[in-house]
Each structure stands twice: as structure tokens, then as C-alpha cells.
Amino acid sequence: MQGTRFSLAIFAAVAALTLAGCGEEKKPEPAVAAAPPPPPPLVVKLGHVGPLTGGIAHLGKDNENGARLAVDEANAKGLTLGGKKVKLELVTEDDQADPKVGTTVAQKLVDAKVVGVIGHLNSGVSIPASAIYNQAAIPMISGSSTNPQLTEQGFKNVFRVVGRDDQQGPAIASYLASEVKPKTVAVIDDATAYGEGLANEVEKTLKAAGIKVLPREKGTDKTTDFMAILTKLKGKKPNAVFYGGMDATGGPLLKQARELGIKAVFAFGDGACTDKMKELAGDAAEGLLCSQAGLPVQAANKKFLDAYKAKFNVEPILYAPFTYDAANLIIAAMKKADSPDPAKYLPELAKISYEGASGKIEFDDKGDRKDAEMTIFTMKGGKIEPIAIIKSGKTIKFEDFLKTAEAAAPAAPAPEAPKAAAEPVKAAEPAKK
């Protein structure tokens, strides 16, 4: 009995504790629903194409850097289109400066759903690739292709932010005629759309000026041994030689010419208008003349030059200001249209007026840059230096051009004066009639 009473007492105590615990039980608080995460930004792809391998990969990378800087700056500032936050993505492809590869990667970019393309570098690649972008109705802006045929095809989606060879060729030829005053000129080209097209314009202008032009000589964009051509030319004693091609082949040409004792003035187009000519031709590069279908890198605005150097830790070479502007033109057109849809922003791009790193940009009906400048350079102390700007048919010394540009630039805003202590707010006066 005693054991039973003890067991009943324990049971009663446990029951009491259990009831007491139940009495203190709190109702669970309703769960607060977590705020839904913000929707991910809309990814908008821009394409860039240029030679990233091979002899002119340095120029292709320079172009890519310009486009990348513009995209990264736009993303850092934040971009909203059609009420949606947008993140730009630069999709880059290597066309190897080869037309066949160029058309292949052009289709690859179309399949990747890019909404615009910055490129290609070479005219010979840009021209066939442009047909693919035109069929897909994707805007394309080249920062370096100068052959007139690119914008003579009637494509409404194709633009360029540099001048044309039928502007550049006459510019360098006229400078040769007026400053060097040669009696006989030899013309060589690399058999590409760019090199041959530019050489044709130079020859045409020289002949019109009454200068004798020797029969055309040709290499290829891979030629590095010009001894046979140069030996033939040496006997004809030209006073000047013009080469239509890139620096990768122009450098060896110039070096071998000096080794043969040819003392003629050598002139080149923009493809060989780089400091790399010193690396490839050595001391033979000193004194060469060359042209660029646009303002020189040194004349690009300070904001771009500083940002480029800070990001890539190198100076821009040649076309980077133009590919930077090309990317920014597409971005600006999308903003105006409030849409990344090519069909919607293309009309805005065609009529845009934009102040870029390379100056004011507007397009004509063909997609060419209006009133594009031409620059004449020389190699001095191992560096390509601008010596003259040609605009609207007039030649002006580069230092005078800079002075004019500086005088026309808007003055920096004056610093604000310290604000006085706030005065008591007065009652508004009745509006006067």
C-alpha cells in the first residue's frame, strides 16, 4: 500500500507540472514573409570583333579595350531601359583579320543575340560581315574600317566613326605632293580591301597633281619579304613610296628598303601609323609619314585618356577612342529609345548628335561620320607624332589645331562660393501680373 501511495504521489506531481506547463504555453507568432529578392538585371549583349591573334592583335586588343571601357563605365553608373535594370555584357570574338573567319564569328554573334556590334577592325572583314548583321537587322559601328564600300552598300544599320579612304588617301597624297614635292612615286599595296582601296585613292590624287606614279606593286597581308619588289623599284629611283597595308607588313618593308639603300620618303595609311613601326623597322622608321582617318589619340578628351590608362595600365594605341565612342553611341541610342531592341534604337542612332572622346559625331545618310578629320603624322624619336590636321579640305598644323580646340572648349565651372547661413523663410509674395 505504501508503494502504491508513493507511486500515486509521483504521478500527481508530474501531472501538476504538466498542467502548469500547458497553462504557460504561448501561441506561436505568425511568420513574417521575407521580402522577395529584387529581379535580376536584364542582360543586354553587345558584340566586339577584331583580330585578337596574329600580326595586328595589338590593334585588335586596343579596339576591344575601348569598347570594354565604355561598357564598364555604363554598368558602373547603372542603366535602366523600359523600367528594367540592365547589365551590359561585352561579347568579344577574334576574327583573325580574315574575311572567312570574320563572317563565321559574325554569325556567332547573331546567334548569341547581341543587340549591336562594335567592329570589325579591317575593311576586308567588315564588308562581308556587315551583310550578316544587315540580314539580322543588328546595328554595326566600325571604329577603324575606312574602305568606302562598307557604307556604299545601302545598309541602314552600318556606321563608322572614322573617315573614309577616299578622304584619307587624298589627304596623305596631297600632303606628300605639297610638302615632299616628289617627281616619281612608287605605290605598293597588300591586296586587301583596305590596302588596295587606300592605295587606289593615293594614286588617283597624285596623278591628278601631275606626279608620275610607277606601275603598282603588290604583296599580301602576310608578306614579310619585299626584297624582290624593292630591288625592282630601286632601279627606278622613286622620290617617295606609299604602302597601303598594316604595320605588321609595313615595318619589314621599310626596314628592307633602307637596307637596300633606298632613300625615298616612305608614307603609309592608318594601318601602319603606329609606334610599332619603330619596333619592326628599327631606325629606318625615323621620318616616315602616315595618315589616320580621324583625330589622333593625343587629341582624344582627357577623361577618356585618363580612364583608359587607369583601367588597362597602358596608353591607347590608335583606334580605342573610336571604339569607345562606338559603344557609347549604341548605349546613348538605347537610352533615347528607352529600349535595347535594335528596331527601336536604330532610328535614334541614325540621327544622333553625340560629343565623344574623338569629338562631335553625327552620321550622314550612308552611315559615315560627317566632316571627319584626317591627321598626318611623322615618326620622331621612335614615336608617331601628329604634325597636321586636315578638315574640310584645309590643312592646319597640329599645335595650332590644339590651341583652337582649347579655346573652343567650355570653361570649367567656377567653384561655388560658401553658402551663407540660412535666412528665415518669408511668406510668399503675391505673383505680379
pLDDT score, position 28: 61
- The Cα 54–Cα 165 span in angstroms is 24
205 closest CA partner among 166, 239, 179: 166
- CATH topology for the 42-162+299-370 domain: Rossmann fold (3.40.50)
Three-state secondary structure string covering the chain:
CHHHHHHHHHHHHHHHHHHHHHHHCCCCCCCCCCCCCCCCCEEEEEEEEECCCCCCHHHHHHHHHHHHHHHHHHHHHCEEECCEEEEEEEEEEECCCCHHHHHHHHHHHHHCCCCEEECCCCHHHHHHHHHHHHHCCCCEEECCCCCHHHHCCCCCCEEECCCCHHHHHHHHHHHHHHHHCCCEEEEEECCCHHHHHHHHHHHHHHHHCCCEECCCEECCCCCCCCHHHHHHHHCCCCCEEEEECCHHHHHHHHHHHHHCCCCCEEEECHHHCCCHHHHHHHHHHCCCEEEECCCCHHHCCHHHHHHHHHHHCCCCCCCHHHHHHHHHHHHHHHHHHCCCCHHHHHHHHHCCEEEECCEEEEECCCCCECCCCEEEEEEECCEEEEEEEEECCEEEEHHHHHHHHHHHCCCCCCCCCCCCCCCCCCCCCCCCC
- The Cα 345–Cα 327 span in angstroms is 13
Q: Give the pLDDT confidence of 324-357 residue by residue, as tens digits.
A: 999 999 999 999 999 999 999 999 999 999 999 9
Using an 8 Å Cβ cutoff, are 128 and 120 in contact? no
Weakly modelled stretches of the chain, pLDDT under 70: 1-34, 405-433
Q: Give the pLDDT confidence of 261-274 residue by residue, as tens digits.
A: 999 999 999 899 99
At position 212, the amino acid (one-letter code) is K
Residue with cell 629611283: 237
pLDDT score, position 298: 84
Number of Cβ atoms within 10 Å of the Cβ of 360: 11
pLDDT score, position 425: 32
pLDDT score, position 39: 79
Peptide bond into 48 cis (omega under 30): no
Convert 230-256 to b/e letters by CB count within 10 Å (16 or more is b): beebbeeebbbbbbbbbbbbbbbbbbb
User: Beta partners for 397?
Assistant: 388
Q: What is the CATH number of domain 166-292?
A: 3.40.50.2300
Using an 8 Å Cβ cutoff, are 329 and 361 in contact? yes
- The Cα 358–Cα 391 span in angstroms is 14
pLDDT score, position 408: 58
CATH 3.40.50.2300 domain position(s) in the chain: 42-162+299-370, 166-292
